[in-house]
Structure formats: structure tokens, C-alpha cells
């Protein structure tokens, strides 16, 4: 993988900004705080620091594993006992960051949070050029089970490429016997999810606040056309939150209706909220690394 100095510098910059945004979001996750306020402040922080968002801030609570971002006018607040996954990434010129952590507001799920953290540390210690992705998965699974938990089998890490957050190789959270090898220079997000649920898998829910642009097609409804025009001018490249389009049409109803029409017509892809199938509590830890000859360098720091 050939990269010039400028690109290497940008990758490091985006990683650092992703980490700063993560810590900023974390500091605002408190009982009684509004999810919408945390999301808006974090995304604003990234924009004001000269970056975009690789995807909207995800704030997934308890058995929600991923892909919840507040809706427009969302009045949800964090509860005293919530276990909150904070997942965010910066973007600049197509270079994308991705990192996540879990905040245990109850202070009663410390073991679950520690388990995902240790899964991540152990996984990172395995990363180097030539290692098979299933070796990393096995390490994650063994660590989770040692703690008495299950890894989430249908979520995992992924290679990150320009404008493509989930690209190329998939890094499982269990031994899936995939002998694909990591290569020097690859940018990879490692993200173990662990749960105290019986199933250890996620299902798609009906809630969907995150979409990605696929391509244009003819559409007649005037409001849907306005929403599409906004997406095509500002949100074409990375996944976006429905609430980012609040200003395009008059009402919440019209906005969600338009989004649905565009999705039905194949112009958008949906990223529905993912919930653990047995309603177990979920903890996630994630960093983005660059694979080196004999290890890796954490980029989101
Ligand atoms: Co990720």
C-alpha cells in the first residue's frame, strides 16, 4: 500500500480528531443529559475543528448495540442506569476515522465494560501484517468468554478505505475460520462487542435515523426532491442523520415521508438501529489502527 507523506499525515490527523470528539462526547454523557444535545455538540465540535463526520454520532443505550443517533426534536435523556455506547469518527477529504467506547452510568456493569476493553487490548496485541482475521476473532471470543460473556457474532471490525468506512476485510469477533490476512499499511477498525445476553447477536430494529446515499433516480414528490437535492449537495459521501436535513422541508412528518420514499426508490441505504437479540446489555470498545510489519499503530489517540 503506497501512501505519500501528505496522506499519512491526514490519516493521523483524522484519527486524532476522532479520538478528541469521542472524549468530548463521553464527557457529556451524564444521567439527565439529552442525547440530542450530546450529538449536536459533538458534531459541531468536529465541524468547527475543520473536519466532517464519517457518520453521525451513535449513542446506543443498554441492549442497543449500534446505529442509534437522535432524531430531530428527540427528547430522550440518559437514565441513571444506562450503559451507553459512544461511537464517532472524523472525516476529511475522504479519509475516515472510527472509534468507540462505553460509559456505564449505573456503575454496575463494570465487568461487562472491562471485558470489551480487554477484548480490544488482546485483539490489538495480535494485530500485525500476515495475521489471519480469524486469529483476532478467536482472541476476542476467548477473552469475552473468560469474563463470562459472549461476543456479538454478527458485528465486527472492518478495513477503512477512502470514503468507505466498511470496506475490504471484515475482522470477526469470534473464530469464523476466515484465513484472510492483514497487510502492512491497512487501516482497520477493531471493535469487539460483548454482551451478557444469551444470543450474542444483533437484530435490526424498526428505528432508523441513519441513511447513506446510493445514487439518483427519478422522483416526483416535490418534497422528496428537495430532500434529495440537499443530500446530493452535502451528504453524498458518508452516512448522514435524518435530523441533519431538518431545514429542507417544513415538518418532521414530511421529512420522514420523503426519506422513506427515497429509500424505497433505492436512492438511500438504511442503517437501522441494531439491538441484541436476547435483550442483553452490550459493551463496545473500538480503535482504528494502521497495520505494520510487526504490530500496529493506534490512529485514534
Ligand atoms: Co467501526
CATH no. for residue 62?
3.90.230.10
pLDDT over 80 (residue 2)? no
Burial of 184 (0-12, 13-18, 19+ CB in 10 A): middle
Per-residue pLDDT band for 166 (boundaries 50, 70, 90) equals confident
Q: Are residues 64 and 190 in the same domain?
A: yes
Asked about 247 being catalytic, the answer comes back as: no
DSSP, collapsed to helix, strand or coil, labels residue 18 as helix
Asked about 286 being catalytic, the answer comes back as: yes
Q: Are residues 130 and 158 in the same domain?
A: yes
Q: Are residues 192 and 62 in the same domain?
A: yes
pLDDT at 1: 62
Q: What is the DSSP pairing of strand 268-270 with strand 210-213?
A: antiparallel
Q: Are residues 96 and 61 in the same domain?
A: yes
Asked about 87 being catalytic, the answer comes back as: yes
Q: Are residues 178 and 196 in the same domain?
A: yes
Percent of the chain with pLDDT over 90: 97
Specify the pTM: 0.96
Residue 174 to residue 144: CA distance in whole angstroms: 10
Of 114, 135, 164, 166, which one is the catalytic site residue?
166
Summarize pLDDT for 27-59 with one digit per residue, the tens: 999 999 999 999 999 999 999 999 999 999 999
CATH no. for residue 232?
1.10.10.10
Q: Are residues 115 and 246 in the same domain?
A: no
How many domains does the chain contain in total?
A: 2
Of 13, 64, 191, 276, which one is the catalytic site residue?
191
Of 82, 98, 104, 276, which one is the catalytic site residue?
98
Residue 133 to residue 179: CA distance in whole angstroms: 6
Summarize pLDDT for 72-85 with one digit per residue, the tens: 999 999 999 999 99
| Residue 186 Cα to ligand 1 middle (Å) | 14
Q: Are residues 98 and 157 in the same domain?
A: yes
Burial of 254 (0-12, 13-18, 19+ CB in 10 A): middle
Q: Are residues 215 and 197 in the same domain?
A: no
Summarize pLDDT for 102-144 with one digit per residue, the tens: 999 999 999 999 999 999 999 999 999 999 999 999 999 999 9
Mean pLDDT, the chain, rounded, equals 97
Q: Are residues 158 and 221 in the same domain?
A: no
Q: Are residues 123 and 193 in the same domain?
A: yes
- Domain of residue 26 covers 5-205+276-298
Contacts of 38 (CB under 8 A, 6+ apart): 25, 28, 29, 57, 59
Q: Are residues 53 and 164 in the same domain?
A: yes
Q: Are residues 84 and 181 in the same domain?
A: yes
Q: What does the CA dihedral 248, 252, 255, 260 come to, rounded to 10 degrees? A: 170
Asked about 158 being catalytic, the answer comes back as: yes
Asked about 223 being catalytic, the answer comes back as: no
Asked about 163 being catalytic, the answer comes back as: no
Range with lowest mean pLDDT among 7-11, 127-131, 166-170, 259-263:
166-170
pLDDT at 167: 84
Of 82, 104, 141, 158, which one is the catalytic site residue?
158
In the chain, how many H helices and how many E strands? 6, 18
Measure Cα distances from 98 to 72, 94, 188, 197 in Å: 23, 13, 9, 25
Amino acid at each position: 500500500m503506497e501512501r505519500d507523506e501528505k496522506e499519512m499525515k491526514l490519516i493521523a490527523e483524522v484519527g486524532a480528531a476522532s479520538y478528541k470528539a469521542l472524549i468530548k462526547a463521553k464527557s457529556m454523557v451524564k444521567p439527565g443529559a439529552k442525547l440530542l444535545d450530546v450529538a449536536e455538540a459533538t458534531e459541531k465540535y468536529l465541524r468547527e475543528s475543520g473536519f466532517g463526520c464519517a457518520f453521525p454520532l451513535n449513542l446506543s443505550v443498554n441492549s442497543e448495540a449500534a446505529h442509534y443517533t437522535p432524531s430531530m426534536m428527540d427528547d430522550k435523556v440518559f437514565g441513571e442506569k444506562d450503559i451507553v455506547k459512544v461511537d464517532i469518527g472524523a472525516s476529511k477529504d475522504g479519509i475516515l476515522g472510527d472509534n468507540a467506547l462505553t460509559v456505564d452510568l449505573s456503575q454496575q456493569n463494570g465487568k461487562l465494560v472491562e471485558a470489551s476493553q480487554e477484548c480490544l487490548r488482546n485483539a490489538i496485541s495480535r494485530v500485525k501484517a500476515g495475521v489471519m482475521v480469524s486469529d483476532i476473532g478467536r482472541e476476542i471470543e476467548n477473552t469475552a468468554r473468560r469474563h463470562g460473556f459472549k461476543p456479538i457474532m454478527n458485528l465486527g471490525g472492518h478495513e477503512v478505505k477512502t470514503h468507505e468506512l466498511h470496506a475490504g476485510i471484515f475482522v470477526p469477533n469470534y473464530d469464523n475460520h476466515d484465513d484472510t490476512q492483514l497487510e502492512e499499511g491497512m487501516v482497520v477498525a477493531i471493535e469487539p462487542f460483548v454482551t451478557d445476553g444469551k444470543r450474542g447477536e444483533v437484530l435490526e430494529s424498526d428505528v432508523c435515523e441513519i441513511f447513506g446515499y446510493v445514487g439518483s433516480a427519478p422522483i416526483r414528490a416535490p418534497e422528496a426532491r428537495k430532500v434529495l437535492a440537499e443530500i446530493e449537495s452535502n451528504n453524498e459521501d458518508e452516512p448522514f442523520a435524518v435530523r441533519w436535513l431538518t431545514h429542507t422541508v417544513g415538518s418532521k412528518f414530511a421529512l420522514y415521508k420523503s426519506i422513506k420514499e427515497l429509500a424505497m426508490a433505492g436512492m438511500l441505504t438504511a442503517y437501522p438501529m441494531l439491538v441484541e437479540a436476547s435483550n442483553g446489555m452490550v459493551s463496545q470498545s473500538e480503535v482504528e489502527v494502521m497495520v505494520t510489519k510487526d504490530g500496529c499503530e493506534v490512529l485514534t489517540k
